[in-house]
Amino acid sequence: MIKSDTKVHSLYGSPIAHSLSPVIFNTTFQKLSLNRAYVPFEVSKDNLKQAVEAARILGFDGFNVTMPHKTAILEMLDRLDENAEKSRAVNTVAMTKNGLVGYNTDGEGAIRALRSYGFEPNNRRILVLGAGGAAQAIVHRLSGENNTIRILNRTLGKARRVADNATGPGRVSYGQLAKSSLEKGMEDADLLVNTTPIRTSTLVSQLKIPVNIVRDAGWVFDFAYDKPAEPVPIGRGTISPLEMLVHQAALSYEIWLNETAPVDLMRSSLVDYLGKDWR
């Protein structure tokens, strides 16, 4: 039950009607009898600054931001953690004594999702599609291990920037996203991480990539989960973006509550709500 001393978390984005984060958090809070609530708010670009000020004034105990605010919010915060600073994008904000601190959990959330499928991202060949904030976060994190990473993007200059920002021991190269580069990349990779809003199955059919290449490809990890489509069996298997969502929620929980998150409970909250398990 929401009471006068309930701690409130929020989500700012537009559109947010499809968001599954409230399900994960509120079910988990209820099951653990935590006096907390998670409320999504539809916030337009024009209103983001006021919404952030409102979070301060109303004393939200931390909040999430999603599209289209992940970059715009940077200048409205008091401090950024290293991953947010590197990727120039924020998805989790903590309310601290010293003000609002921005975090980016995309990289760590992706790594935890991969591990939960038994995929250890070390000494691997990884193809990354897209070069926005999410790609920056995952490339930065994966280049910290001994991986060979190839970035393909529609805009070459952005792919170059992401590659240049990767400072780890991994080898990082980049190129233009096109039929031939995607074919070659899929043939070579153990894992394809697609951070663009276009699903890999759609890209593959639009670009007419031959079936044998698709079948033999490595694991496929599409970040986009907002369009409810059945995953098309592709390559060795698909890493569900829902698993990533659960781990990102767990990372927010850890940042806000400063304790280990109940990941299995968070996952089962979503599985029960959707009526299907993705693993």
Residue 89 makes contact with ligand ATR by CB under 6 A: yes
Residue 130 makes contact with ligand ATR by CB under 6 A: yes
Residue 133 makes contact with ligand ATR by CB under 6 A: yes
Residue 192 makes contact with ligand ATR by CB under 6 A: no
Residue 148 or 195 with smaller CB distance to ligand ATR: 195
Among 7, 88, 125, 154, binds ligand ATR (CB under 6 A): 154
Residue 196 makes contact with ligand ATR by CB under 6 A: yes
Report the alpha-carbon distance of residue 142 to residue 75 in Å, rounded. Answer: 26
Residue 37 or 80 with smaller CB distance to ligand ATR: 80
Decide if 208 is catalytic. no
Residue 197 makes contact with ligand ATR by CB under 6 A: yes
Of the candidates 46, 89, 131, 103, the one whose C-alpha atom is nearest the C-alpha of residue 250 is 103
Residue 162 makes contact with ligand ATR by CB under 6 A: no
Report the alpha-carbon distance of residue 114 to residue 191 in Å, rounded. Answer: 10
Residue 198 makes contact with ligand ATR by CB under 6 A: yes
From the candidates 3, 70, 97, 276, give the one annotated as an active-site residue: 70
- With a CB cutoff of 8 Å and minimum separation 6, the contacts of 91 are 64, 65, 66, 70, 103, 104, 105, 106, 248
Strand order from edge to edge, sheet including 219-222? 171-176, 148-153, 125-129, 191-194, 219-222, 237-239
Q: Per DSSP, what are the bridge partners of residue 95? A: 100
Of the candidates 137, 151, 71, the one whose C-alpha atom is nearest the C-alpha of residue 107 is 137
Residue 170 makes contact with ligand ATR by CB under 6 A: no
46-60 burial, b at 16+ Cβ within 10 Å, e below that, comes to: eebeebbeebeeeeb
Residue 37 or 162 with smaller CB distance to ligand ATR: 162
Residue 155 makes contact with ligand ATR by CB under 6 A: yes
Of the candidates 75, 247, 14, 244, the one whose C-alpha atom is nearest the C-alpha of residue 90 is 75
Which region among 56-64, 147-155, 232-240, 267-275 touches ligand ATR (by CB under 6 A)?
147-155
Residue 245 makes contact with ligand ATR by CB under 6 A: no
Within residues 56-75, the interface with ligand ATR by CB under 6 A covers: 70
Taking the complex as a whole, the smallest distance from the CB of residue 276 to ligand ATR amounts, in Å, to 25
Residue 153 or 238 with smaller CB distance to ligand ATR: 153
Among 64, 195, 238, 269, binds ligand ATR (CB under 6 A): 195
Binding site for ligand ATR (CB under 6 A): 70, 89, 130-135, 153-155, 158, 195-198
